[in-house]
Structure 1
Amino acid sequence: MTDALSLQAVFLDRDGVLNIDHGYVHDPAALDWIDGAREAVAAFTQAGLKVIVVTNQSGVGRGYFDDAAVDRFHGVMNAQLGEVGGRIDAFYHCPFCEEASVERYRHPDHPDRKPNPGMVLRGLADWNLDPAACVLIGDKDRDVEAARRAGVEGLLFPGGDLLAFARARLGDRIATLVTDGD
């Protein structure tokens, strides 16, 4: 477990952690934030942590939307986060899946598709992060498994208010999570 002085980054799953998962969410008009998500990201940002999203996006591989739609959605997320002092430093998404209708995205077990750790490992390398100084918050067992395989502590978010969850699970390691807004 990491301590307050060594925590460098928070990795976040997207659908079900930051935004409500309506199924293959890609249209910015359908962006509905999870309670406390924007405030949690703002608290992480203000604490000086890197905030990195790692998200399976099989809708791209299935041909429901393209990578550009994912990028637009992420741009809107960051713009709305900026309004409350938050920022996501990097987004990693995996369009690969075994059932892909788009041939280039058909893969039986892509290293980036969670529970595989590829996206987390890339984030660690790209940002020169120590896995022991990072946490990943996800809403599925596959998120926590991807974290474990990358040497990162995984926290299973049961739903509800993300800021309250972060305060309960990380508040002793990130002072601003305890004091902001109180």
Structure 2
Amino acid sequence: MINVLIVDSTRILRESLLHLIEKDSELRVVGSAENGLQAVESCGTLAPDVVLMDVAMPECDGIEATRIIKRKFSTIKVVILTHQTDKEYVASALKSGADGYLFKDIKGSELVLAVKCVAGNMRVYHHDVLEGLDIYIENRNPINQTRREIELIRYIAQGKSNKEIAGILNLSEGRIKNIITGILKKNDLQDRTQLAVYAITKRYI
């Protein structure tokens, strides 16, 4: 069972999402919140697997709430669900550690699938979001990656830890860390989040 927390400032939307999500037998809504502060508190008490997070909310917006949640509860997945298409919002969401960015006009079946994918350590982005990633990762000339590097990049994009990747590839964690450092430097990237986005833009996943 995948436990979901709904965070949105609009009550009717919270209720609509609840009914939509609970139609699927694999999903369960464990609670809801109307602002970012309540969302952080609920993550501590309800321990959801996935949070559906609005952006524009009073007291603490969704971007800041996501940043706090990812820092305090690293295993909880957060998907931004918003009307905001502005590139700056997309960039801020990715930098905050969000595991996905979807628009509220998404089909119900697609949202359910997205929740399941994120719970399975995948990242989900609306196709229109990818067009705005040039502000987050500048367009670069193609860089040749080795087969091993591409394989490792894919695992990172799936949300796997260095320890998990080391076990899969039969390498030490230290070796995995060194390879990741080299990939980041080669591609002029700052962290694993940027590397995951890079994997999407290069169609490695």
Answer 1 or 2: higher relative contact order, Cα 8 Å, separation at least 6: 1
| TM-score using structure 1 length | 0.35
Structure number with larger C-alpha Rg: 2
Give TM-score, length-normalised by structure 2. Answer: 0.32
